[in-house]
Amino acid sequence: MDQLTAQDPRRIGPFEVLGRLGAGGMGLVYLARSASGRRVAIKTVRGELAEDELFRVRFAREIAAAKTVGGFYTAAVVDADADARVPWLATAYVPAPSLEDLVGECGPLPVDAVRWLIAGIAEALQSIHAAGLVHRDLKPSNVLVVEDGPRVIDFGIAAGVSHTRLTMTNVAVGTPAYMSPEQAKDSRSVTGASDVFSLGSLLVFCATGHAPYRGGNPVETVFKLLREQPDLSGLPVELVDLVRACMRPAPEHRPTPEQIQTELAPHLFSRDDAGESEGDWLPPSALELIERRRGRRVPGARAAAAAPVAAPAAAPVVPPVPSAPPVVPAPYLSPAPAAAAAPATGPVGGAHAGPAAPEGHWGPARPPAQPEPVDPRTGALAAQGTPAQGASAVPGGSAVPASAAQVSAAGTAVAGGEVATAKLGAARRHRRDPAQEVQLSGASVRIGPGPQAHGVEPAKATGPTPAETDWVRRAGALSAAAPAPVPPAPPVEQPGQPRWRPWRFRMSNDVWGTPLVADGTLFISSFEVHALDIASGRRRYKTRDVAWAVAVDAGRLHAADGPHLYTVDVADGTERWRTSLDGWVYSLDAADGVLCCGLRGGGVQVRSTANGAELWRAEDAQQDYENPQSGPALMGGSVFYYGGGRLRCVDARGGLPRWTFPVGEDVPSRPVLRGSLVYVTAGTRVYALDAATGAQRWRFDAPVVLFTPPSLDDSATPAVYVADYLGTLYALDGASGQVRWQARTASRQGAEPVVLAGRTALIASGDTLYAFDTADGVERWRYAARGEIVGAPAAAAGLVHLGSRDHSLHTVDLATGRLRWELGTKGELTGSPVTVGGRVFVSSKDRCVYALDAAYGTAVPDSR
């Protein structure tokens, strides 16, 4: 919980506000208490929604229905006021982790726990639908988990938004990774079947640790949702049929929440120990997290049960014969797959990310602990093998007991300072019949830095253990098959200058996008824009409003929270001006004193960066897919934007049209200006246009759709590099459009452009980064990560930095492709890494921003 600021209210309705819980797309969320001391969570509504009378009418109607929702698995609506100056809704406060936090910290859940949670959520949906509501935003962060089951929150809100004017201009209400296809197309006409699709997506997340649809940005995620099958990698075979039934494209063919409960009931109530305790469904690590969120230590009874005891000889266990399943309507049943997907091969060694530190600092460094065997069913330490060490090394050679803050990804310690061997009793107590155990292909305890396949023996690190950190894996800690590291040359330091050291900064909310570095400051979006000093990692300031689009130019930071624009000084965050627009801003671009805004529904507005005054506007920029990559672009004193199948060039300040060129209705890329030519890809074509007149100089036609915008090298006669979705890389002559060479990689779904570094062209396909010689297209090397590569790689000073869905940042040598060092985090990386001045910056879904030495990671040269 964050402290209140001067702008936060001290009372909302009859409730006293205690603190700020967070912020979201709807508005701010506060913790408050009633006159009798009962705590509630109050969600307030954004200003632009409050000004919409249609929203207020819908909001009042939906809240009246939400108050009638009963059921054990929902958080009750306590009070609301749709007529207040700032409308608000108060629900019972549940001090518990969300499903997102639970899986993020404890890893994918066992099959029995997943079934238990999904049955509870299905019962909650049954209550919500019975009141005539559709949730519309069922996602992991809207499900709280306590010992006796899940609690679904935020129902009755998204429905009010979905009928406002904001949704009339291609604004989908919901979270793309978990919404249904029909909701992505029109969120105003969905039924309860849409929530069932989201429930299937939740099931995938619970059992695998990842969403069924993952894209680099919301638009890409929606694209995959509408055109591709869900990603079920790592999903246990026992749950495949239920997921496929819930996520059927046709809403009428999905099961109802009642049918889902009926299907799961035999699995939940046929166990011998099903009636002992509700918490027994969850692994010990999840129960400990729930207790910590309540502000309590693990109860004495559970701690005593977790103490190491001599296990009695196990008698042969005969699997119970399940009762006959109830009859389910035909549309719900589907044939079982022929075989389960093979578990993915994970890493064979390396340290996991350490605990989150206070803002901008790490605690004492310690060497990484050797991974311990983990029970794949419970996530606890396996009974066999040596106990985990109960002490950790600190500078000075002393030893201290492992605390809760030192819990490793393999579960090497327990809360309250107890040694890790206390896990053994809990592991035995929670162990099921081996015939019922599930071998997950994802991480069994904690997500990141990369999944580890069950049964793979960790390789022993060779050489001395690096003492500077516990969350960077050096090449020496990899398997023997990995190439030897290439020692970097130490950087030259100027005498008298303070030594820069790596840092990380932890946010209180999720971070997203790619870090932006300008004027010695790093900008990162975490609802608000946070400005961090790149030298120390300390926060200089943050904006007071949410920012969905950001641009920096000439010492000014420009941001939009949707329908509002505001500008602050880069140096100290002083606000310079603020204005309101009559639409939702989805892209910003700033250059030469001009700020260009792309608005949902085909609008373009150009304003002065000095005072926000409008210079001109256009309404002919309609596209099928509106995203920052295809939004209006400022280049060479002109604004380039798409609309009606044409590329338009307009004078940036005067708004006078210069030329238009037909490019078709295919999703175009951001144009690239080089000299007197403008290069653009659209569909299967690459165009080179005269920047002054728009006349076509040449055109290249590819066999399939080209996803990437053009990339140009710095030679006198530049080459143009583009790639299609099948993974074919083309090098075109910049003057004639003729193919100089082409090369093949694996198929790719992202739209990241080719990255050029000297005589090397870099392109990622799936989990592999390919390097080609720009002269002849010969492959120089390829590097395989343990997960799909996120964003575009960053290359500088002979090094290449790339992020992966294995929750790691990999740094390899540009000449050889050999691994230099690797950063492991506790979440997927967001956006692309950024390199500036010998440093690399990257952000992660563990709510941290990392600043590292590009050559040494978290180390410093004199510590080697």
Q: Which residues are catalytic?
A: 137
Q: Token pair for residue 96?
A: 């518990």
CA distances from 256 to 252, 314, 332 (A): 9, 41, 9
What is the 3 state secondary structure string of 69-91?
Answer: CCCCCECCEEEEECCCCCCEEEE
- The string of DSSP codes covering 367-381 is PPPPPPPB-TTTSSB
Q: Tokens 């311990």 sit at which residue?
A: 372
Q: Which DSSP category does 543 fall into? A: -
Q: Tokens 């000014």 sit at which residue?
A: 556
> How far apart, in whole angstroms, are the C-alpha atoms of residue 838 and residue 631?
31
Which amino acid type is present at position 214? R
Output the CA angle 214-219-225, nearest 5 degrees. Answer: 50
By CB atoms closer than 10 A (0-12, 13-18, 19+), residue 277 is exposed
Sign of the CA dihedral with 568 first, then 574, 577, and 582 last: positive
Where is 64: in which H helix or E strand? helix 53-66
> How far apart, in whole angstroms, are the C-alpha atoms of residue 519 and residue 535?
12
> How far apart, in whole angstroms, are the C-alpha atoms of residue 563 and residue 141?
25
> How far apart, in whole angstroms, are the C-alpha atoms of residue 766 and residue 311?
46
Q: What phi and psi values does residue 242 have, to the nearest 5 degrees?
A: -65, -40
In 3D space, the residue among 44, 139, 195 whose CA is nearest the CA of residue 510 turns out to be: 139
Count of residues in the chain: 864
Output the CA angle 118-122-127, nearest 5 degrees. Answer: 150
> How far apart, in whole angstroms, are the C-alpha atoms of residue 612 and residue 593?
10
Q: Do residues 88 and 45 make contact, with C-beta atoms less than 8 angstroms apart?
A: yes
Q: Given phi > 0 = left and psi -120 to 50 = alpha, else beta, which region is 403?
A: beta
In 3D space, the residue among 234, 202, 231 whose CA is nearest the CA of residue 454 turns out to be: 234
- Helices (H) and strands (E) counted in the chain, each on its own, are 13, 47
CA distances from 792 to 14, 524, 753, 856 (A): 50, 17, 7, 21
Where is 761: in which H helix or E strand? strand 760-765
Which amino acid type is present at position 445? V
Output the CA angle 741-746-749, nearest 5 degrees. Answer: 105
> How far apart, in whole angstroms, are the C-alpha atoms of residue 288 and residue 280?
12
Q: Do residues 424 and 308 make contact, with C-beta atoms less than 8 angstroms apart?
A: yes
> How far apart, in whole angstroms, are the C-alpha atoms of residue 709 and residue 672?
8
- CA dihedral (766, 525, 104, 147) in degrees, to 10, reads -150
By CB atoms closer than 10 A (0-12, 13-18, 19+), residue 292 is middle
> How far apart, in whole angstroms, are the C-alpha atoms of residue 214 and residue 744?
24
> How far apart, in whole angstroms, are the C-alpha atoms of residue 783 and residue 809?
13
- The string of DSSP codes covering 109-171 is PPHHHHHHHHHHHHHHHHHHHHTT---S---GGGEEEETTEEEE--TTTHHHHHTSGGGGGS-
Which amino acid type is present at position 203? L
